[in-house]
Amino acid sequence: MEINSETRLCCLIGHPVKHSISPQLHNSAFKHLGLNIVYLSFDIESRYLRRAVEGLKSLNVVGFNVTIPYKVAIIKLLDVLDSTAKETRAVNTVVLKNNELIGYNTDVEGIKRSLLDSRNTLDGRALIIGAGGAARAAVVALKNLGIKEIVIANRRIWRAAALVRIFKMNDLEMKSVSLAEVGRYSRTSSIIINATPIGMWPRQDETPLSSNDIPGNSTVLDLVYNPLKTKLLEEAEKAGAETINGLKPLIEQAVKSFELWTGLHPPRDILWRVAEEALKKWGRDED
């Protein structure tokens, strides 16, 4: 693809972003569809977040993705929130339209589609590890799937408690617990979702749960995709649980983001191939 004076920009902002394969995904789709758009990633320190967002708006970008740790902080810097962003109170995709920054949450769709492919019945208790933006998307996805009981476990329990206050409603039972007692609740959960960076490069030897804490008839979804098989998923396999890695939700949310930016459907088969190749290359480069 030739970059010229008419090339438009999409990007990812977060801290860190080195692990991300979003540039490979979106650039492959732009190229395949003949779009004069390029996707870059920017590692932004928190003190520069406002300036960065204002700069992207001034540059008239097509839009951008938001990752850890800014999915909640970004909201106050946007002009409009879509219904998904309002419900989750977190944003991972932004579209610039008519000089307004519009926030969306495509993580919900990614998580929901990933769990719909589960071989297990989606009922019983769900455990979410983490209390950030990804955890908020997980709560909404689970609620949309009909789950009635959700436990939020987090190292800082006050953040888990805050999430419970935000989402607790008559038809959804929620409870906050500390990460130290997570095993007590995971042993009786049918769905377990890791929505933290635990196990992500360069912390790939860490896991929030061991095999002894994971039921064999449960479904374990790890939103971390780098590495593709995290320590948590290894432990879940030992326990006999169904495992879903972070690549499926990543690609599904990327598809939705791409559609919001362009109005076009990216080729899923190409996204899968590019993602798998990028992660294999990453593994070789880090050896």
- Indicate if 71 belongs to the active site: yes
Backbone phi and psi for residue 145, each to the nearest 5 degrees, phi listed first? -85, 0
Single out the catalytic residue among 31, 57, 71, 281.
71
Q: List, in order, residues 6 or more apart from 270 with CB less than 8 Å away.
A: 28, 29, 32
Q: Is 130 left (phi over 0), alpha (psi -120 to 50) or beta?
A: left
Question: Which residue type occupies 126?
Answer: A
Helix residue ranges, H only, 119-265: 133-144, 157-167, 182-186, 231-239, 247-262
Pull the structure tokens for residue 169.
Answer: 């409603």
Is residue 161 classed as helix, strand or coil in its secondary structure? helix
Report d(CA 12, CA 106) in Å as an integer.
14
Task: Tabulate helix, strand, coil % of the chain (nearest 5).
Answer: 45, 20, 35
Tell me the catalytic residues.
Answer: 71
